[in-house]
Amino acid sequence: LLVFISAILIFTAPGVCYTRYINDFRASDEICPNQNFLPMGVNRWSNGVHFQNRGQNVWGQLAIVITSILFALPLLGLSCLQIATGISLFYLQICLSIVSILIFLTLGGLETWYATGFGHMGPLITQIGGGQFSGCLGLPNCHVLFIVKGWAAAAALLFLCAVLFLTDVGMQFLRKEKYSQTYTTPLSPHASCTPSESNHFNNYRTRIHVGTRY
């Protein structure tokens, strides 16, 4: 569910905003222009003027969506199979969970990079109209911090998926330990006494034999 929500946020890209900074100090309130001015949705990835030059890198988010779905479905299928059949797939599930943790941490990091403008949107907004649009005209060390809040939320959901996979690994180990403790058969007290009784009897016979010899 989290994966599909993140995909929707990536494709719709709500909350496009930017803030002006001078000498690394905030110099303006957060500005969120009309969605028609800086549309970041998937329907504008191929024809948006603001996606010139490095802007085509935005298509990398399609790989993020596909990869996240591909790594979320197998574990969901394994969980359903385990519930339906009762078959333990402990080691397979642990391996897939560990791989998924690494994958979703990577995807979350990449989506964070996209959410902050992927090295393109901030400089582009700063240079629009020679700096008149951003308010950086004639101001040294002025730059714009760009963010797509929907993409930032998608990155947070991807990181949350990694945390949930880590939690699942812990629960699998706890379930395995509980299962092994429940089905461990204790030794019978009679079985534990038999060897000692036998040894005692043998020792007794040995002492009698030694005594009769001398």
DSSP for 103-160, please give it. HHHHHHHHHHHHHTTTTTHHHHHHHGGGGTTTT-TT-TTEEEEEEEHHHHHHHHHHHH
Residue 159 has pLDDT above 50, yes or no: yes
Mean pLDDT (the chain) is 79
pLDDT of 50-73, one tens digit each? 777 666 788 899 999 999 999 888
Q: Which of 31-35, 48-52, 113-117 has the highest mean pLDDT?
A: 113-117
Confidence of residue 93 (pLDDT cuts 50, 70, 90): confident
Q: Which of 114-118, 128-132, 139-143, 158-162 has the lowest mean pLDDT?
A: 128-132
Least confident of 69-78, 79-88, 199-208: 199-208
- The string of pLDDT tens digits covering residues 103-112 is 999 999 999 9
Q: At 84, give phi and psi (nearest 5°).
A: -75, -40
Res. 211 pLDDT band, cuts 50 70 90: very low
Phi, psi torsion values for 33, nearest 5 degrees: -70, 170
CB 20 within 8 A of CB 142: yes
**pLDDT tens-digit profile of 161-184?**
999 989 988 887 877 666 555 544
SS3 of 74, please? helix
**Cα→Cα distances 146→65, 125, 160, 185, 210, Å:** 22, 8, 23, 63, 97
| pLDDT at 111 (0 to 100) | 96
Contact between 169 and 62 (Cβ < 8 Å): no
The phi-psi region of residue 80 (left if phi > 0; otherwise alpha if psi is between -120 and 50; otherwise beta) is alpha
pLDDT at residue 43 tops 80: yes
Q: What share of the chain in percent tops pLDDT 90? A: 31
Q: Inter-axis angle of helices 60-85 and 2-12, to 10 degrees?
A: 160
Asked if 93 and 78 count as a contact pair (C-beta separation under 8 A), the reply is yes
Q: How confident is the model at residue 101 (pLDDT cuts 50, 70, 90)?
A: very high
The percentage of residues in the chain with a pLDDT greater than 70, rounded to a whole number, is 77
pLDDT score recorded for residue 126: 85
pLDDT(208) > 60? no
pLDDT at residue 187 is higher than 50: no
In the three-class reduction of DSSP (H, G, I as helix; E, B as strand; rest coil), residue 25 is classed as strand
CA pair distance 28, 33, nearest whole angstrom: 14
What average pLDDT score do residues 137-146 get? 85
